[in-house]
A and B are shown apart, each in its own frame.
Chain A
């Protein structure tokens, strides 16, 4: 348990500082330190880095362009660095916690039922992601092609929403049943075994 508190104590100041500071060099130092912490604590450091790189490649140019439309370029740079260091620090923190660990930590702050909702959300994001991939494949077998201009592509993505939602709702019923069967929530407290 103390280990997760250590992680929290190390990462929280970084995130708060990233929120407060305005200087580019300090912000870069913050994101580097959070990456070092990830290297120490995280089990799959490589995966985190790849994810972050993908994420930043998309967001950084977009922020730079949008911000410089409404303000000067200098401001745009500061805003972008601030945003990216903030997201690096928070993603790094999330990647350092394992599911069971974060459940334990969250339920020491919130009621455990509420904490479990958050944990379950993160777990089922993966499932939904898999479902989307599969639906996309199925559409291709029906002769659908992922070509055309930007608008058409977005329209094609919207078509996916209904099947994904319906299936997730049906799954939710099963999850509710599984939770009930395991007596989840019949007492106000629960033990955390690990």
Chain B
């Protein structure tokens, strides 16, 4: 282990956004030039801990804050701003983009630091070369892929020569090539003598990079030691109810023939063919922005410019009315905030059936609520729920109108495994399910796994863990 003085010191930190504490009594310290991995399942408080360490939390975001965090012997609460030595890369690159062009984005921080123009040009070029985005400097950021956007954001923060770098889930939503690239970048930053703190639930190839590992479970720090033992402990924590795979019935529910979608030269989907049998579970994976959601929207007949043929229950999809399709296909999107329209949990669950002119009985409603772990929240406002609860509510409200096919877009994100396995057990076996996901753990319950790459869909060998 490297020697050095304490750079970050956390003393008895507890924090909660509202009444409930997300972090409970956390104590540890980080030395100079150390690289640290924070492990934990989603909802265990990784992001909140990172925000506390970087000083975002007592200053920008408010809440119940107990304890102290010192950076270079300065109390974060007293600095009133994020410390100048701290760089933080959040999970979603989309919200961190502040300008329109790649070169402007990289230069933004340097401009704020009042560097002169020549120095900025030099630095931008240098870092673009290092991050292998030199040929894209004049591109509009909108036209980059998800992984490239992430790279631009990291480049923008790396140019500012900060001592400590925080990364929140740098690998999420990336394909394997981009993951390797991210590994290379982090290794380079480590070589430059930066202190690196990464929060990740599935570190796969990054493992070898770190000297130390912290494991969080339900807001508590349960482990502080070497990476190997930490990974083992995490595996123990994620143990959950067994979800068994069921065999499908040989009856074609959905048949897609030569489906293409896109305008002109840049087709998002090209020539997609697949058949889905009744009660089959299919996982579809691919890099973010590769067209998974587009494919799902095509299946619901919500996009106009598609070519090819889709058969739903032996009839082409154009023969149905839009309402009929909606009653047959339930759709759960990734962002739960987009799909909440009513002011209480029960109203929200009733929204779908109401639109179809159905009424769900009280006993069924109670069963749904208890299966999804929402029984005690039935009258509260959906926006007051936690992320995991919100996501379960959106699945419940899609299931309540009894569709025969269910499409789930990234269902694991923000979900704790115990509740999620319960949810899966309640829907598997009597529904056809399409899962759009990056999560390799979900491939185990799927009958078949497909991957979308460059607009084409290929079947993947099942059970091959990455």
Would A159 and B302 be within 8 Å (CB), given that A100-B101, A181-B157, A191-B120 are in contact?
no
List A contacts of B302 (CB < 8 A). Answer: 137, 140-141
B199 to chain A, nearest CB (A): 15
Having A181-B109, A182-B157, one finds 18 other A-B pairs with CB under 8 Å, namely A99-B100, A134-B338, A135-B338, A138-B333, A138-B338, A140-B302, A140-B326, A141-B329, A143-B327, A162-B341, A162-B383, A177-B60, A177-B96, A179-B98, A181-B88, A183-B112, A190-B112, A191-B114
The stretch of A31-39, A57-65, A83-91, A168-176 in contact with B is A168-176
CB of B105 to closest CB in A, whole Å: 10
- Beta-carbon contacts under 8 Å, A176-194 to B: 176-187, 189-194
In the complex, chain B residues whose CB is within 8 Å of the CB of A190: 111-112, 114
In the complex, chain B residues 436-451 whose Cβ is within 8 Å of any chain A Cβ? none
Query: Nearest chain B CB to A95's CB is how many angstroms away?
Result: 15
Bound-state Cα–Cα, A123 to B121, Å: 25
Tell yes or no: B160 within 8 A of A by CB: yes
A140-B326, A176-B60, A182-B160 are known contacts. Are A100 and B100 too (CB-CB below 8 A)?
yes
- How far is B61's CA from A163's CA once the two chains are assembled, in angstroms? 21
Write the nearest CB–CB distance from B144 to chain A, whole angstroms. Answer: 16
What chain A residues lie within 8 Å of B87 (beta carbons)? 181
At the interface with chain A, which of B78-86, B183-191, B273-281?
B78-86
A144 in the interface, Cβ–Cβ < 8 Å? yes
Q: Are B338 and A186 in contact (CB under 8 A)?
A: no
Mark A114-153 against chain B: 1 for CB-CB distance below 8 A, else 0: 0000001001000000010011011111111100000000
**CB closest chain-A residue, reference B87:** A181
Question: Which 4 A-B residue pairs are closest in the complex by CB-CB distance?
Answer: A143-B355, A141-B331, A174-B95, A182-B109
Asked if B60 and A173 sit within 8 Å, CB to CB, the answer is: yes
Fill in one digit per residue for B319-352: 1 if any A CB lies within 8 Å of its CB, else 0: 0001100110111010101111100000000011
User: Does A74 interact with chain B (Cβ within 8 Å)?
Assistant: no
Could you tell me the distance between the alpha carbons of A112 and B280 in the complex, rounded to whole angstroms? 57
| Cα–Cα, bound, A189→B81 (Å) | 18
Contact B326 A143 (CB under 8 A): yes
> Measured between alpha carbons, how far is A24 from B90 in the docked complex, in Å?
54
Residues of A with C-beta under 8 A to B114: 187, 189-191
Instruction: Tell whether, in the assembled complex, residue A166 and residue B111 are in contact, meaning their CB atoms are under 8 Å apart.
Output: no
B223 at the interface (CB under 8 A from A): no
Q: B300 at interface (Cβ–Cβ under 8 A)?
A: yes
Residues of A within 8 A of B120 (CB): 191, 193
Question: CB within 8 Å of B: which residues of A?
Answer: 98-100, 120, 123, 131, 134-135, 137-145, 159, 162-163, 166-167, 170-171, 173-187, 189-194
- Check B82 against A141 for contact (C-beta < 8 Å): no
B323 touches which of A145, A182, A184 (Cβ 8 Å): A145
Tell me the chain B residues, 34-86 only, with Cβ under 8 Å from chain A: 51, 54, 56, 59-61, 81-82, 84, 86
Q: Which residue of B lies closest to A139 (CB)?
A: B341
Q: How far is it, in angstroms, between the C-alpha of A22 and the C-alpha of B169 when the chains are bound?
A: 61
Give Cα distance in the complex from A159 to B327, angstroms: 21
Question: B110: which A residues are within 8 A, CB to CB?
Answer: 191, 193
Task: Tell whether, in the assembled complex, residue B117 and residue A193 are in contact, meaning their CB atoms are under 8 Å apart.
Answer: yes
Q: Which residues of A contact B23 (CB under 8 A)?
A: none
The docked-state distance in angstroms from the alpha carbon of A163 to that of B335 is 10
Q: What distance in Å separates the Cβ of A106 from its nearest Cβ neighbour in chain B? A: 14
A137 to chain B, nearest CB (A): 5
Q: Specify which chain A residues have a CB less than 8 angstroms from the CB of B355 in the assembled complex.
A: 142-145
Are A140 and B322 in contact, with the CB atoms below 8 A? yes
A142 with B337: CB separation less than 8 A: no
